[in-house]
Amino acid sequence: MSSPKPSEDAEKVVQIDLSSYGHTGTGYKPTGDDYIFPEPDNFLKSLSRAFNKQLSIDSRLKEDFNQTYHGAQVEFTALPTGYTVTKKIRDTNRQDYEIHGHFSGIGSFDSAPQFLKHAVGIMRLHLVDWLELREEHLTKPDGLECECVLCKRKTAEQAWIQKKVDREAKGASVGVVFEDKADKNTDGL
């Protein structure tokens, strides 16, 4: 069912279907009696409000998207493929949103503003083709450096590897210092 066409003097609205951006989540759906699976409509409204608010105050977001949407309000109509909105029941009076499906598999988003950073990352990746690969999009080979908490968080394996690399680098730099001192001591003999 499509929404009615707004009148000429009504505020412009651009509808965005995030499932059309070619980004696929894992399709993970948590199990257990403490999860319910609502339709994503209310979450998408929250996501739309968060995006429109951010678009009005974030200069980088304005630069990337204002020309595309020409000052219109954005309304998200669907999640990216493979993402699921859940409500986790914490107690009898409280239910928290969780958005599952991030490819890292290391957690879930717990609010529309938190998920928004990932949605914007997906949208920026989609823009790369026609942005002529400006410098800010060249930070990674695919043109995307997502700012969301899950893309920035390291998995346990990644953290372990980083610690190992850091230890080896520290050991190598200590070895260089000792070698320099040893070389100086033999020069004077």
Q: What is the pLDDT of residues 12-51, one digit of tens each?
A: 888 999 998 877 788 999 999 989 999 999 999 999 999 9
Q: Tell me: do 78 and 169 sit in the same domain.
A: no
Q: Which helix (H) or strand (E) holds 14?
A: strand 13-17
Which of 80-84, 85-89, 175-179 is predicted least confidently?
175-179
The Cα–Cα gap between 2 and 154 comes to 41
Rama region for 105: left / alpha / beta (φ>0; ψ in -120 to 50; rest):
left
Evaluate whether residue 4 is within a structural domain: no
Q: Give the pLDDT confidence of 124-137 residue by residue, as tens digits.
A: 776 544 334 344 44
Q: Are residues 40 and 104 in the same domain?
A: yes
Boundaries of domain holding 188: 154-189
Whether the per-residue pLDDT at 122 is higher than 80: the answer is yes
